[in-house]
């Protein structure tokens, strides 16, 4: 019996009365569409960079659909394993499994099926290297982050967040069929972006994580310590984003946008650090400002990745 199956064997409550629309919405919710949106933002622009122009539409569609199914699989399996945590957290208790709209075994089958379909789709319609990378990201998120790291270390999101960096590699290999230094740089940009992004959210919901016994950094360390780490990762992220300019041989547009966006991110990070020196009150810290800006930063940075070869070729 696998770890996931063992976790599923925990006694479940019977789901309450639902309509077919509720069930469909619940299964869609298991895939965490808002997270998938961010993953696709870091996939498609890299395809433009690798193509040095507009990539073939059919290949983009196959990569996007296959990547969506792969990410949805990982997210659904995460929901299955973490449903005990989700029941104790205000932010997540309205998800399908805590509300018993979908049973854990059904969600497990759904997640595995999505993973199988995505791997076959990417392998047959894109290439097997991209399929292997998507499968590796799936397994790393479910096993490495969800099962091993999340409940054991405050550095869980640092290393576990690497799973969310794979789309940059997948987008590149979908076009070229091989890896290169440019996608590795973008992989590292997302790697350094993830802690500031997630720790800002975890500051806001630190009581939730504490109640669920999840040792996120804001649970085990004070706001000042967390803010310092956020600033440190922000500098690493900005420096790495600028490294793409010489490594990928981009034009002027990308580094100009990266510099402006990076400066704004550093300013917002330092604002959080300054506020943490005088208060540990979540409302006064306003961590969600940085969280929302981090989403905007990543989106605009990768839009610049896509536009640069179109504007400067």
- Every domain of the chain and the residues it spans: 1-152, 180-313
119-128 pLDDT, tens digit each: 999 999 999 9
Q: What is the tens place of the pLDDT at every residue in 73-103?
A: 999 999 999 999 988 888 888 888 988 888 9
Nearest CA among 248, 122, 273 for reference residue 189: 248
Q: DSSP secondary-structure letter at 141?
A: I
Determine the Cα–Cα distance for residues 69 and 134; give it in Å rounded to an integer. Answer: 10
User: In the predicted model, is pLDDT for residue 227 greater than 90?
Assistant: yes
Span 163-184, pLDDT tens digits: 999 999 999 999 999 999 999 9
Tokens of 96: 């399908």
pLDDT of residue 18: 65
Mean of per-residue pLDDT scores for the chain: 91
Q: Specify whether the CB–CB gap between 241 and 258 falls below 8 A.
A: yes
CA distances, 42 to each of 46, 84, 172, 235 (Å) = 7, 31, 10, 20
Going by pLDDT thresholds of 50, 70 and 90, the confidence category of residue 214 is very high
Q: Is the pLDDT of residue 1 over 80?
A: no
The label of the residue with tokens 């309205």 reads 94
The beta strand positions in 123-236, using DSSP E, are none
- Range scoring the smallest mean pLDDT among 139-153, 278-292, 298-312: 278-292
pLDDT of the residue at 3: 44
Residues in Cβ contact with 207 at an 8 Å cutoff, skipping those fewer than 6 apart: none
- CATH architecture classification, 180-313: Up-down Bundle (1.20)
pLDDT, residue 4, reads: 46
Residues in the chain: 313
Q: What is the pLDDT at residue 11? A: 41
Mean pLDDT of 190-211: 94
Considering only CA atoms, which of 239, 180, 155, 195 is closest in space to residue 50?
180
Q: What's the whole-model pTM score?
A: 0.91
- Mean pLDDT over 189-194 rounds to 97
Convert 240-272 to b/e letters by CB count within 10 Å (16 or more is b).
bbbbbbebbebeebbbebbeebbeebeebbeeb
Task: Please tell me the distance from the alpha carbon of residue 300 to that of residue 284, in angstroms, as a whole number.
Answer: 28
- CATH entry, 1-152, from 1.10.3470, 1.10.357, 3.30.70, 2.60.40: 1.10.357
In which region does residue 179 sit, left (phi positive, over 0), alpha (psi from -120 to 50) or beta (all else)?
beta
């Amino acid at each position: 019996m696998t770890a996931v199956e063992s976790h599923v064997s925990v006694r479940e409550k019977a789901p309450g009365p639902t309509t077919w629309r509720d069930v469909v919405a619940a299964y869609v919710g298991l895939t965490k569409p808002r997270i998938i949106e961010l993953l696709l933002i870091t996939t498609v622009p890299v395809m433009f960079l690798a193509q040095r122009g507009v990539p073939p539409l059919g290949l983009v569609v196959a990569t996007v659909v296959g990547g969506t199914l792969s990410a949805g699989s990982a997210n659904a399996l995460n929901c299955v394993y973490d449903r005990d945590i989700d029941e104790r957290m205000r932010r997540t208790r309205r998800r399908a499994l805590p509300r018993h709209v979908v049973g854990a075994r059904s969600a497990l089958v759904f997640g595995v099926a999505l993973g199988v379909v995505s791997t076959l789709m990417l392998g047959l319609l894109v290439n097997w290297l991209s399929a292997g990378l998507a499968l590796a990201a799936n397994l790393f998120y479910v096993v490495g982050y969800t099962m091993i790291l999340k409940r054991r270390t405050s550095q869980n999101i640092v290393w576990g967040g690497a799973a969310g960096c794979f789309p940059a590699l997948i987008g590149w290999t979908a076009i070229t069929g091989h890896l290169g230094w440019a996608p590795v740089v973008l992989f590292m940009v997302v790697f350094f972006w993830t802690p500031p992004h997630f720790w800002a959210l975890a500051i806001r919901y630190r009581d939730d994580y504490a109640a669920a016994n999840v040792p996120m950094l804001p649970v085990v360390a004070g706001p000042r310590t967390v803010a310092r780490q956020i600033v440190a990762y922000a500098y690493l992220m900005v420096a790495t984003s600028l490294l793409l300019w010489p490594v990928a041989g981009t034009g002027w547009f990308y580094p100009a946008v990266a510099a402006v966006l990076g400066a704004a991110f550093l300013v917002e990070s330092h604002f959080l650090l300054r506020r943490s020196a005088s208060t540990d009150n979540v409302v006064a810290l306003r961590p969600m400002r940085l969280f929302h800006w981090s989403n905007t930063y990543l989106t605009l940075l990768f839009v610049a990745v896509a536009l640069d070869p179109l504007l400067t070729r």
